[in-house]
Amino acid sequence: MRVVWSLLLVGALALVGFFGAQAGGQALFGIVLPYLAMAVFLVGIAVRVVGWARSPVPFRITTTCGQERSLAWIKASPLDNPSTGLGAAARVLLEVLTFRSLFRNNRSELRDGGRFTVSADKWLWAAALAFHYSFLVVFLRHYRFFAEPVPAVVAWIQGLDGFFQVGLPVVYVTDIVLVVALGYLLWRRLADPRLRYISLPADYFPLALLLGIALSGVLLRYVSKADVVAVKELAIGLVSLHPTVPQGIDPLVFAHIFLVSVLLTYFPFSKLVHMAGVFLSPTRNLANDNRMRRHINPWNPPIVGHTYAEWEHEFHDKLVASGIPLDEE
C-alpha cells in the first residue's frame, strides 16, 4: 500500500498541474511555483550543507576496507585506506563517479537447509549507476531550452545521446535507460520481501516522483510533441527573470514543470540530499592517519586536576568523623 499511495499521490500531483493550467493557472504553475521551488531548494541545500560543515568531528571515523599504511614491507591500500588528504579526495571522487562502495555491496541470505550464503549484488549497482548518469545527461540536454544559441557541448551531448537515429523525433537512449532503471529500482523494493518490509513512504515517493517526471517528459517528446519554441520562450523568461507564458503550451508541460517543482521542494528534506552530503561524510573524506599523528579534540574543555591531598583536605572533617585514616595525620 505504501507504493500504491506514492504512485497515486504523484498521479494526483500531475493531474493538479494539468487541469490547473487548463483552468487558467499557467502563470501559477509556470512561473510562481518554479520560482518558489528553486528558492526552497537553494536555501534548503545551503542550510543542510552549513549544518553538516559545522558539525564537530572530534576524531577520525573513516570506514576502510584495505590495508593501513604501517610498515615499509607491508603493501598499503592508498584508495581504500588513504593516509593522505589526496588519497581521501580520490576515494570520494571514485565514490561519487563510480559508486565504488555500492559495487562491493553483498547480499546475504539464509537458504533452505540453514545454509548462509553471501553473493554479489551487482544489479543494484548497475541500475543506480544507469539512473544517475542518464538523469545527468537528460538534465544537461534540457539546457538547450534555457540558452540561445545552444552551447556546443550541449549539442554534442544531444547528438551522442541520439546516435542511433531511431524514429522521428529521434529516440534518446537516456530516456529509455532512465525509465528502465527507475522501474527496476522500484520493482526491486517490491519483489524482495525483506526489502519491502523495511521500505518506507520516504523510499517509494522519490522513486515514484522521478518516474512521473521521466514519463511525463517522454510523453511530451514522443506523444503530444509540445511546441518547443513556446516552451523555450517560457524557460528563457524564467532564467532571465523576465517570465512570460506564451500561448499554445500543452497543459502536460505544466504538469511536468509542477512535478519538477515538487521534486525541488522535497529534495532538501529527503534522502535525495545525499547528493550534497556525500562530500561532507567524515567516514569518506578524512584520511586514516591516526597512527601517524595524534589528533586532539579541540572542543574538549581544559581539564582541571584535583589531587588526592586536595580531596582529603576538602572532606577532612567528614573523613575523621567516619574513622577513615588520613595521609595528613
Does the pTM of the predicted model rise above 0.85?
Answer: no
Contacts of 254 (CB under 8 A, 6+ apart): 17, 18, 20, 21, 25, 26, 29, 30
Query: Which domains does the chain possess?
Result: 2-321 (1.20.950.20)
Distance CA 206, CA 5 (A): 12
Main-chain dihedrals φ then ψ at residue 146, nearest 5 degrees: -110, 5
Other C-beta atoms lying within 10 Å of the C-beta of residue 229 = 10
Note the pLDDT of residue 119.
74
**Which residues are registered as beta bridge partners of 117?**
109
End-to-end CA distance of the chain: 78
* Cβ-based neighbours of 295, under 8 Å, separated by 6 or more: 58, 59, 60
CB 30 within 8 A of CB 254: yes
Low-confidence ranges of the chain (pLDDT < 70): 166-167, 328-329
Question: Quick one: pLDDT at residue 322?
Answer: 86
Residue 134 near residue 177 (C-beta atoms within 8 A): yes
C-alpha to C-alpha distances, 176 to 10, 35, 171, 273, 321, nearest whole angstrom:
20, 29, 8, 25, 86
100/122 Cα distance (integer angstroms) = 11
The pLDDT, as a whole number, for residue 292 is: 82
User: Residue 107: beta bridge partners?
Assistant: 119
Say if residue 234 is exposed, middle or buried (CB neighbours under 10 Å; 0-12, 13-18, 19+).
buried
Q: Residue 328 has what pLDDT?
A: 64
pLDDT value of position 33: 94
Q: How many CB atoms lie within 10 A of CB 260?
A: 21
Give the Cα separation of 246 and 26 in Å (integer). Answer: 9
For residue range 158-178, list pLDDT tens digits in order: 888 888 776 677 888 999 999
